Chains A and B, each alone.
Chain A
Amino acid sequence: MVHAAGAGHPGGSLSAIDLLHSVMVGWGRFQMEASTRDWLVLAKGHATPALYTTLAELGYIAEDELLTYRQFGSRLQGHPDRKRLPAVQVTTGHLGHGLSIASGIALGEKMARSEVNIYAILGDGDLHEGQTWEAVMSSSHYDLDNLVALLDLNQLTQHGPVEKVMSVDPLKDKWQAFGWATREINGHDYEEILTGLRWTSSQDRPCALLCHTVKGKGVSFMEGDPLWHSTHLSEETLNQALQELGES
């Protein structure tokens, strides 16, 4: 997709793909036939390649359409847009907004006494935005035990390592101090992710899964390189990446 588009965010998409897949395919109620659906809020909206491929796997989008990503006239906008693509439940884009929106949905679902869960996937950049911490505060104030934040901690923002750009540690202590239940997991290990999600359903507070991930996961030349935050894939790098991912 990123190759066809000539641009995009491959690194952050590969760090989030296992989380998205686990939540939407392996755990939550996101199937087309589901009578009640959970909510997925992709706070790190630039990881659309990961979202769109997951939606394709669930049958909401044809695989051919994935190649229209970021193209003029496409439903697959650079950031998730529910008006263009109804399969996108929540329009997101700017870092920092997502958890507030997820918190509002969770508050509404709780007021309606539904049993729907809300999953928000945040990136390191979301944690730099003050609004995210406002949402962390209000979510525990309103006891939103139907809300799960999955923190995709690939430790790299666009300019470099998070600890150099703007340190966010100690993250676990911060979320706990705000009243959230926390658990650390490997964000690329399906069993650990599913165990973590199972654990969230037994908590009486909003939950944060601190998911340790690798930017560009699965592609040797992308892993750990912030330049792959938003870089075009040439024909040569595309073929090498697909070979490493076993998709040739």
Chain B
Amino acid sequence: MSELHAPREILGETLAQAAEKDPKLVVLDADLGRSTRLTPFEERYPERYLQMGVAEQNAVGVASGLIYAGFHPVFVTFTMFAIGLPWTQLRQTAYASLPIKIIATHPGFDIGPDGGTHQMLADLALSRVIPGLVVLSPCDTPETVAAISAALESERTTYVRVGRQPVPDLHDQVEVFPIGEAEVLHDGGEEVDVLLVADGSMAWTALQSALRLEKAGIGATVVNVRTIKPLDKKTLVELSGKAEVTVTIENHSILGGMGGAVAEVLGEQGGAVIRLGAPDVFGETGTTDELRALYHLDVEGVLQSIKDAL
């Protein structure tokens, strides 16, 4: 588990393998293919690699048109330019039930040194509010491969949030990514002090935090949400009922994202949630680790927040 991998590294190869089986699969790039690691796809399928230039609104519109013409388009870029910039176009695509696939990298603080302009801390909020849109946030490389496969097989408009921050493989292999089902990454037992709920690269932070808590005599269960929408309400309600406190940890604003989604569900059940993530601020230049420490999203910060809550 010690070796770290950035999930984005497998994007081009995963899509190239999918293209072998699906002759209708096409990939749209907006001049960031090197950063999103699309090169293996571009080299193997140049005729199916559609360069749209730095024009994301048009790219989403063209992807919609390609659906009408019988193709299976996948638009790949950074989260900021996939969800923020062409939000209205994405919303219209979902309105028309056109199953384009959006795969976006560099979420949240993962693009740290580029600064607050490029740190997308609102994509989960912006995407999950669109009716019918499926939002996936896998936690490591094997799960990202499976999430992309699940998205490509889905008949619904789907967004896959892919990490750039290196994390260990928390799974040996993921055969199937079950859309809509959360995963218990670490089971603390029938009655625990803390339920940690995380997505994406923060699942690793949650897992490390849980192991540290247990050494200090504090029982913790860790849930990898995996699907932000549709959220696995049943599992979350069930597990939160066994914990003293529920804490969400996300690489996103605490407003409207995964933590917001969990709070909505547990709030209806009378439960309380402590949301850890970016507060209501824009980011700034720094390494991902520096920014996580600033907002108490590193293991030490998470542990302190949990201890304060208990």
A residues engaging B (CB < 8 A)? Answer: 39, 81-83, 89-91, 93-94, 96-97, 99-109, 111-112, 130-131, 134-135, 137-138, 141
Contacts of A104 in B (CB 8 A): 61-69, 73
Alpha-carbon gap, A134 to B73, bound state (A): 18
Contacts of B92 in A (CB 8 A): 91, 93-94, 97
Q: Is the CB of B71 within 8 A of A111?
A: yes
Alpha-carbon gap, A141 to B63, bound state (A): 16
Chain B residue nearest to A93 (CB atoms) is B92
The distance from the CB of B216 to the nearest CB of chain A, in whole angstroms, is 54
Pick the residue among A91, A99, A108 that contacts B66 (CB under 8 A): A108
Q: Is the CB of A103 within 8 A of B61?
A: yes
Q: Is the CB of B58 within 8 A of A100?
A: yes
The answer to whether the Cβ of B35 comes within 8 Å of any Cβ in the partner chain is no
Contacts of B50 in A (CB 8 A): 107
Q: Is the CB of B68 within 8 A of A103?
A: no
Instruction: Report the number of A-B residue pairs with Cβ-Cβ less than 8 Å.
Output: 92
The distance from the CB of B23 to the nearest CB of chain A, in whole angstroms, is 11
Q: Is the CB of B69 within 8 A of A107?
A: yes
Alpha-carbon gap, A107 to B58, bound state (A): 13
Q: Is the CB of A112 within 8 A of B70?
A: yes
Cross-chain pairs A/B with CB under 8 angstroms, 16 sampled: A93-B92, A96-B57, A99-B61, A100-B57, A100-B64, A103-B61, A104-B61, A104-B69, A105-B68, A106-B65, A107-B65, A107-B69, A108-B70, A131-B58, A137-B55, A138-B58
Q: Is the CB of A134 within 8 A of B57?
A: yes
Chain A residue nearest to B63 (CB atoms) is A104
Alpha-carbon gap, A6 to B211, bound state (A): 65
Pick the residue among B58, B69, B96 that contacts A134 (CB under 8 A): B58
Interface size class of B (residues with CB under 8 A): 20 to 34
| Chain B at the A interface: SS class | helix
Contacts of B60 in A (CB 8 A): 100
Q: Is the CB of B65 within 8 A of A131?
A: no
Pick the residue among B52, B64, B70, B95 that contacts A101 (CB under 8 A): B64
* Given A108-B68, A137-B53, A138-B52, residue A101 in contact with residue B88 (CB < 8 A): no
Contacts of B68 in A (CB 8 A): 39, 89-90, 101, 104-105, 108
The distance from the CB of B99 to the nearest CB of chain A, in whole angstroms, is 13
The answer to whether the Cβ of B89 comes within 8 Å of any Cβ in the partner chain is yes
* Given A94-B92, A100-B89, residue A109 in contact with residue B69 (CB < 8 A): yes
Alpha-carbon gap, A99 to B67, bound state (A): 15
The answer to whether the Cβ of B97 comes within 8 Å of any Cβ in the partner chain is yes
Alpha-carbon gap, A105 to B71, bound state (A): 9
Q: Is the CB of B66 within 8 A of A83?
A: no
Q: Is the CB of B89 within 8 A of A131?
A: yes
* Given A108-B70, A108-B71, residue A97 in contact with residue B61 (CB < 8 A): yes
